[in-house]
């Protein structure tokens, strides 16, 4: 067996072809190769079966009250969460410390005024942050997610979302 496609690139090509994502200019020479190579032909046939099998797997419909539950949670959690998180945020975004502090104060004020949190709280001046763009912002978001997890474990004194368990 000396198939030229027995490489990583070859596999990628065959995978793309089996899923119908190969550009036309690569399709023609590949199909010519398939005519003469039983190994690749077998790969394509079995991969296409996998593709069809996965196609047949439909996800169940989304619950009708999904959005309502989400907005309810936003309303319930965002205000206390912001209040808790703001003072810690400088650990992760040290450059935005004054902004975070200001935001904390604003949000505290919002909470005191019993302002519903779904109505987005007008953020403080963000222009400084736009200039201080950090390339690894996704990293920070995930850091924050991890921290959120820890907090959730700590703060989850009530059974999580009884409404969601319908």
Partner 1 sequence: MDERVKTDMGATAAALDYDAELMLRVRDGDGASFGVLLDKHRLSVIHFLYRMVQNHAVAEELAQEVFLRVYRSRSTYEPTAKFTTWLFRIATHLALNALRDGKHEKSQERLDDASGDLPVRQVSDKRPTVEASMVYESRLEEVRKAVATLPEKQRAAVLMHKYQDMEYSQIARVLNCSESAVKSLLFRAYESLRARLAHMA
What are the residues binding partner 1 (CB under 8 A)? Answer: 8, 11-12, 15, 19, 43, 45-47, 49-54, 56-63, 66-67, 69-70, 73-74, 77-78, 81-82, 85, 89, 93, 96, 103, 118-123, 126, 129-131, 133-138, 140-142, 144-146, 148-149, 160-161, 164-165
HSE-CB at 34 with a 13 A cutoff on CA atoms is 16
> Which distant-in-sequence residues (6+ apart) come within 8 Å of 163 by Cβ?
65, 69, 72
In the bound state with partner 1, the residue whose beta carbon lies nearer, of 28 and 164, is 164
Burial of 10 (0-12, 13-18, 19+ CB in 10 A): middle
What are the residues binding Zn ion (CB under 5 A)? Answer: 3, 5, 37, 40
In the bound state with Zn ion, the residue whose beta carbon lies nearer, of 45 and 75, is 45
Q: Which residue has the tokens 């399709």?
A: 27
40 binds, among Zn ion, partner 1, none (CB under 5 to 8 A by kind): Zn ion
Quick count: other Cβ atoms within 10 Å of Cβ 47? 16
Measured from the CB of residue 82, what is the shortest distance to partner 1 in angstroms? 7
């Amino acid at each position: 067996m000396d198939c030229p496609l027995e490489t990583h690139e070859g596999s990628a090509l065959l995978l793309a072809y089996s899923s119908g994502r190969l550009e036309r200019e690569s399709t023609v020479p590949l199909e010519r190769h398939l005519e003469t190579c039983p190994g690749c032909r077998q790969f394509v046939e079995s991969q296409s079966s996998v593709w069809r099998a996965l196609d047949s797997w439909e996800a169940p419909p989304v619950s009708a009250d999904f959005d309502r539950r989400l907005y309810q949670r936003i309303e319930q959690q965002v205000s206390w969460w912001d209040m808790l998180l703001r003072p810690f945020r400088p650990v992760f975004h040290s450059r935005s410390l004054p902004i975070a502090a200001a935001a904390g104060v604003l949000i505290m004020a919002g909470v005191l005024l019993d302002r519903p949190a779904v109505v987005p709280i007008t953020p403080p001046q963000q222009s400084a942050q736009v200039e201080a763009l950090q390339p690894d912002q996704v990293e920070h978001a995930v850091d924050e997610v991890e921290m959120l997890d820890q907090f959730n474990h700590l703060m989850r004194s009530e059974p999580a979302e009884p409404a969601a368990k319908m």
